[in-house]
Amino acid sequence: MTHTTLNQAAHHAANETANAGRRRFLKAAAAAGAATAAPLLCGNALAASHLSGRHMVHTTWGGVYRDAQIAAYCDPFSAATGAEVIQGGPMNAAKLSAMLESGKPIWDVVDVVDVQLAVDSRKGYFEKIDPTVVDVNEVEPEYVHDYGVANIVWSYNIGYNTDAFPTGRHPRSWADVFNVAKFPGKRTLRDRVFPTLEHALLADGVAMESLYPLDVDRAFAKLDTIKDDLILWKSNSESQQLFGDGVVGCGLILNGRGYDSHQKGAPVNIEWNQNIRSVDYYVIPKGAANADVAMQFMNYVTKPENQARMANRLAYAPTNLDAFEMIEEAVKPWLSTHPDNASRGILIDIDYWRDNLEPLAKRWTEWKLS
């Protein structure tokens, strides 16, 4: 099985990443012809009789993301196989880490970001993916990992409240977000060290292709300049509320959350310049009681019709290119892997964060309290 860690050597130059994204997107688009968003039943050969009476605990992030995964993955999987999917969580990185360290997981399949996959898989916390069960050929090679199955590609974006900053007069760069004089009012970032340090360095003039290794001291010095005007959010649902209610005028939001707010009529929009792409993976905690059911669920998630359902609900890009032919045309410009968007961003370096997360997370906590 191909094991790709999305390391810096493979994705160091932003234009190289963008070109690769453009080739993948155009390949899928060319095959699409007329797009359709019709939900399809999964075509993998899962036997309902085999999983009837079985169950698994599915844990993911909250709000509209969880709702989308239930509709795109969990409910159709139950209908196709007879297995009951119990919703755990919501996902909390600290709670998962404590569970993994105890060796007694109560969750069977968990949605994690790529950085956590890189850190915790090295500690032996996850079950290895069985390629005889999970058809890894369904997933783009760069998203295949020994201990996880990629289900979406998304991005950290500059978001803005359109009442405060109408489109066209909005912050177009992280330097703008950090410019309180030009764009007054409260702004928001995520209460997490990654990719907050990247945002601060971009604001301080560091080029995307030169971000790694991060100049940590420079990043924290830049964060000091907006500390009094900064509101940190802990959940994606909270970020949507901050923007939608006008509590903040600009800052960080995920592309799918910006899409959801925009579609619901909230005064929220996003900027694609200097976006940072990331990938979510499904993992199975080591020792999970229903690992065999979870493995079949992960195989189900790789199928194009299921990933297309997810994309059409929340504008998170699929990891199976065949899904593009079932994604609505109106959704495609909101996807992080759309060539126009990929060319204006960079993929987060999970190898850097694998090696540096723990000490930098500690420093982030100290900075907040200082």
- What's the confidence (pLDDT) of residue 11? 39
Of the options 3.30.565.10, 3.30.70.920, 3.30.70.1230, 3.40.190.10, the CATH number for the domain spanning 37-154+280-339:
3.40.190.10
In the chain, what are the helix, strand and coil shares in percent, each to the nearest 5? 45, 20, 35
DSSP 57: E
Give residue-wise pLDDT tens across range 140-183.
Answer: 998 889 999 999 999 999 999 999 999 999 999 999 999 999 99
Token pair of 369, please? 């309290």
Say which residues have a Cβ less than 8 Å from residue 113's Cβ, sequence separation at least 6: 278, 279, 280, 281
Nearest-5° angle of CA 345, CA 14, CA 230? 40
Token pair of 138, please? 């369904």
- What's the confidence (pLDDT) of residue 342? 95
Q: Which amino acid is at 285?
A: P
DSSP 129: P
**37-154+280-339 matches 155-278+348-369 in fold:** yes
Give the number of other Cβ atoms within 10 Å of residue 261's Cβ: 23
- What's the confidence (pLDDT) of residue 93? 86
Q: For the chain, give the mean pLDDT.
A: 89
Q: Are 64 and 314 in contact (CB under 8 A)?
A: yes
- What's the confidence (pLDDT) of residue 94? 87
Residue by residue, DSSP assigns 236-272 as: HHHHHHHHHTTS-SEEEEEHHHHHHHHHTT-SEEEEE
Q: Which residues of the chain have pLDDT under 50?
A: 1-48
Give residue-wise pLDDT tens across range 55-112.
Answer: 999 999 999 999 999 999 999 999 999 999 999 989 988 899 899 999 889 999 999 9
Q: Which fold has domain 155-278+348-369?
A: D-Maltodextrin-Binding Protein; domain 2 (3.40.190)
Residue holding tokens 């959940």?
235
Token pair of 78, please? 């139950």
Q: Could you tell me the residue ranges of all domains in the chain?
A: 37-154+280-339, 155-278+348-369
Strand 187-190 and strand 230-233: the pairing is parallel
Q: Are 85 and 108 in contact (CB under 8 A)?
A: no
Secondary structure tally for the chain: helices H, strands E: 16, 10
